[in-house]
Structure 1
Amino acid sequence: MPNPSILNSIERKFILLVGDLVIIIASLNVFVNNAIDIEFISFKLKVIVTLFGVFSFLTLSYILDLYNLQRTLKRKYVVSQALYITALFVFIVFIFSVLFFDTSFWRIPLLVFLILTPIEIALWRLFFVNVFRVIPTTRNVLLIYDKETEKHFREVTSSIDGEDVETFYKVKLTYNLNQHTEIRKKFLVATEKVDSWIVNIKNYSDFPDDLEKILLRSILKGKEVISYTSFYENTYEALPIQSHNDSFYEILQLRNRKIRYLHTIFSFFVNLILSLFVGITLVICIPFVYVLNLFFNKGPLFYTQKRVGLHGNEFKIYKFRSMVVNAEKEGAKMAVKNDTRITPFGRILRIFRIDELPQIISVIKGDMQFIGPRPERKVFVNQLNSLVPFYGTRHLIKPGITGWAQVKYKYGENLEDSIKKLEYDLYYIKNRSITLDLRIIFKTVTTVLFSRGV
């Protein structure tokens, strides 16, 4: 039976969500049954307001990362984050009720709903943080590896321990198959103290029989046994490409070759609706950008560049020019944060993503779609292909204006960042779905609204 004191991140998020929903539903009950004047109340109104309230809270929580455990488990974030998100939630519910139902309210119950709900959520989350400071939350890991992993041993162990991200795993014991000898009693005792086995080997047929028996015994005792690829994919929502030992087919599984009608239909309507919306926005913006360009960004209005798209074919991409004219007279160079080539007006265009609007032309032409890997230039693609043998697999689908790598990772400034983004691109290719596309759309909207870098 699994150790009951150790909960994985999904279980922790579930407990946190259940606690939040209990408080939210109780607060909505106070709102619809006590705050709204009884003359205006009806069962239909109760149901509509309650469902809208729960939907609003879950949507805000997702968009604003309320269930990001890396922040939730830090005291300095937990209270402030819970207060401002829940305050926004109660305000939205209140405005919704006023605008759509023209109701009147009793002041005291209304104030209880507006003021106490954020405080209750903040106190619950503070309690949650303190409980998990007492209860063990980290799995002790036995890492099984071979000579191939030795080349990237530091990267593998760092990703399991989580230097920048809280993984809730910690490497406590390692075993190198390349130095396999007879299993010692000391090692057997040590394996009893680990909670998870993470296996990162090239060839599973090389797994020693005696070690395999111990592994199977651990499985029967309820301990977790997973491959490094599975751990990495579940934890980082990306696929390892530099520090992996699994075969290429295990990593990618090329699920994009399966026909997924619902996702295809969904993608078609997303591209159609957003093309219309972004196209209208582009037409409206062109006169304003053109006039301001005359004073603050003299030169051509648009900037065109060839990028690599579906099946490795090049196509032309369009943007509002945000850099000085002849920005690459000394050769191709990746844009970096605080790039000196970006004009002051161009910086404003980039902050609000206005410079990206003309890419709708490539979507209409069929060279791009809204969601997919960002198209890269051929000169950089060639360099990356030499560094990562299967970099070209990101060209299995059309490139996109936004994508999983864009919403999960910072702005790419060099080839190392591009390789890191490839991990997210491969994850998207493998796990494309309506749900994942909706997550990307939500996160892209918050990036634009709050001017967050990606």
Structure 2
Amino acid sequence: MSNKTILNAIERKSILFIGDFLIIGFSLRNFILRAIDYQDDETLTTKVLIFIIGLVAYFTIAYVLDLYNLEKAPKTLTLTAIRVFSIAFIFTIAEFIITTIIFDFAYWRIHLAVFTIFCPIQLVLWRLLFNYIFKFVPITKRVLYLYDNTTEDSLNKNIGLINGDDEKETHHKVVSTYLNNEISEAESDLNDLKKDVDTWIINTRNYNHFSPKMERKMVNSILERKDIITYTSFYESIYEALPIDSHNDSIYEILQLKNNKIRYVQSITSFCFNFILAFFTGIAFFSVVPFVYIMNIFFNRGPLFYAQLRVGKYGKEYKVYKFRSMVVNAESKGAQMATKNDARITKFGKILRKFRIDELPQILSVIEGNMVFIGPRPERKVFVDKLNEVTPFYNVRHLVKPGITGWAQVKYKYGENMEDSIRKLEYDLYYIKNKSVVLDLRIIFKTVTTILFSRGV
């Protein structure tokens, strides 16, 4: 029996979080007690409030800037150190500015400098120590991939997804594969299965078609503290999407959406999120209209807005509004998907798209009740019909109202073709299946990152 313990991603992130929490807490304590020059006898409540503001500020900045995304961490220690120092330095400056604005404090310059410089240094040293420790602690799980004749055609692709690539570190590595069918289920074949594995990932047409010998082998593996999971479960956990093209009976797992009983807290919270975000988006929209109108006169002659029919909840079409970013009559040759460097986009339109300003008029569709702030992005019927021919799952995304931003937009690159649309569908289905207040908050934070770094679409 293997006694090797492998920490999963959540456990490693928790260790990193605890270390950051202790360092930030200690640094804030010194900042509050030494750097601030109190003119009056400040109350304990004020000091606690400053401490809480600091913690919230740091972890918000760290999350928005992907500091805890270990799957896409910098490849070198130098880049890691620069990244962590920069984020921590931004935090210290933000804490100084926030407390100055709210409380109008004076500061002891030496202690303020110590906080501003040494807090980032401590976090860099902790991150380097963390990376050094996990050079020796096993974090990659050795995988036995079990498949059958129906999933054999996607063998290499699925193994590649399990192993990950330069953009995604899964911490799993396939070291053995096994074809599950009547011919290969001889006792000798089962005995040949590698014992030095930590996880079984099963991708078969039907999970009930295992021989008694194979079932005993699985039970014994569980008793040896090995994980046995389906390919769909693995994919959903690691990629936070659903594998709609895995060609197995994951149709049950994919459509196993959470029941639709009213969750009052979630419903009320989602309404509040959408109302507040729509309110501020509306203010931003009406504020930029004069600017966009004037710039259009010089750099983007033609109508200010364009309206287009999109497919909404339950397949009902509605009008979506955007600032026009393409030349007039951009689709004179028929409907076509926009690409990242589309020649039809005007120079001013590129600016509108880069900062997502062109999306702001969609708030009108939110006001009309056809959209919400967070949900799957709406698509045109001509493309919906084509995608429905490719995959039977596409209409599932129409169970909810479309949104201005969504899980697919913050998790995937700019979509340019049908393949990208199907890939984004995997994220939309994941959102529908796992919709929650926490997931909505993650989308809000990631949307900020998307705008700042021009990611997604």
Give the superposition deviation at 1:450. Answer: 4.2
- Tell me the CA shift for residue 152 of structure 1: 1.4
Structure 1 partner of 2:173? 170
Match of 1:336 in 2: 339
2:434 is matched with which residue: 425, 431, 436?
A: 431
**Aligned letter for 2:334?**
G
Q: Could you tell which deviates more after superposition, 163-172 or 88-97?
A: 88-97
Which residue of the partner structure matches residue 107 of structure 2?
A: 105
Give the structure 2 partner of residue 180 of structure 1. 184
Q: CA deviation at 1:160?
A: 0.5
* Structure 1 residues 450 and 174: CA distance shift in structure 2, 3 A: closer
Shift of 1:51: 1.4
TM-score, reference length from structure 1: 0.95
5 Å-filtered alignment, 1:265-276, equals 265-276=268-279
**Aligned residue pair count:** 453
Match of 2:205 in 1: 202
1:261 aligns with 2:280: no
**1:46 and 2:47 matched:** yes
1:449 to 1:204, Cα distance in 2 relative to 1, 3 A: closer
**How far is 1:2 from its partner?**
7.1
Residue 146 of structure 1, aligned match among 145, 148, 165: 148
SS of residue in 2 equivalent to 1:444: helix
2:23 aligned with 1:19: no
Q: Which residue of 1 aligns with 2:353?
A: 350
What is the CA deviation profile of residues 46-99 of structure 1, one whole-angstrom value per residue up to 9, with x for unaligned ones? 311221111111111111110111343622431111011100111122222222
How far 1:378 sits from its partner (Å)? 1.0
| CA distance in 1 between partners of 2:249 and 2:242 (Å) | 11
Partner Cα separation in structure 2 for residue 292 and residue 424 of structure 1: 36
Instruction: Return 421-430 or 440-449, whichever deviates more.
Output: 440-449
Measured in 2, the distance between the counterparts of 1:392 and 1:329 equals 28
Write 1 or 2 for the structure with the bigger share of helix: 1
Q: CA deviation at 1:29?
A: 1.7
Change (3 A) 1:295 1:37: closer
- RMSD of Structure 2 on Structure 1 (CA): 1.8
Q: Is the contact made by 2:232 and 2:250 (CA closer than 8 Å) also made in structure 1?
A: no
Q: Secondary structure at the match of 2:178?
A: strand
Pair 119,196 (structure 1): closer, same or farther in 2 beyond 3 Å = same
Tell me the alpha carbon deviations over residues 301-341 of structure 1, each in whole angstroms, 9 at most, x when there is no partner: 11111111111111111111110011111111100011100
Q: Which moved more, 1:335-344 or 1:122-131?
A: 122-131
Contact kept? 1:160, 1:171, Cα under 8 Å:
yes
For residue 9 of structure 1, what is the amino acid of its counterpart?
Answer: A
**Greater CA deviation, 354-363 or 98-107?**
98-107
- Specify the SS of the correspondent of 1:420: helix
CA displacement, residues 17-66 of structure 1 (integer Å, 9 cap, x when unaligned): 11111111111122122222366554223311221111111111111110
Q: CA deviation at 1:121?
A: 0.6
After superposition, residues 21-170 of structure 1 pair within 5 angstroms as 21-37=21-37, 40=40, 41-72=42-73, 74-75=75-76, 76-163=78-165, 164-170=167-173
Q: CA deviation at 1:438?
A: 1.0
1:304 aligned counterpart, secondary structure: strand
Displacement of 1:256 after TM fit? 5.5
3-state SS of paired residue (2:314):
helix
Question: In 2, are the aligned partners of 1:394 and 1:425 still within 8 Å (CA)?
Answer: yes
Indicate the larger mover: 43-52 or 17-26: 43-52
Task: Return the offset for 1:441.
Answer: 1.1
Cα shift at 1:5:
4.3
Q: Which amino acid aligns with 1:51?
A: I
Structure 1 unpaired stretches of 5+: none
Out of 51-60 and 99-108, give the one that drifted further: 99-108
Q: In the TM superposition, what are the counterparts of 1:182-331 in structure 2 within 5 Å?
A: 182-184=186-188, 188=191, 190-255=193-258, 257-331=260-334
Contact residue 385 and residue 392 of structure 1 kept, 8 A: yes
Q: SS of the residue aligned with 1:341?
A: coil
Which range is displaced more, 219-228 or 28-37?
Answer: 28-37
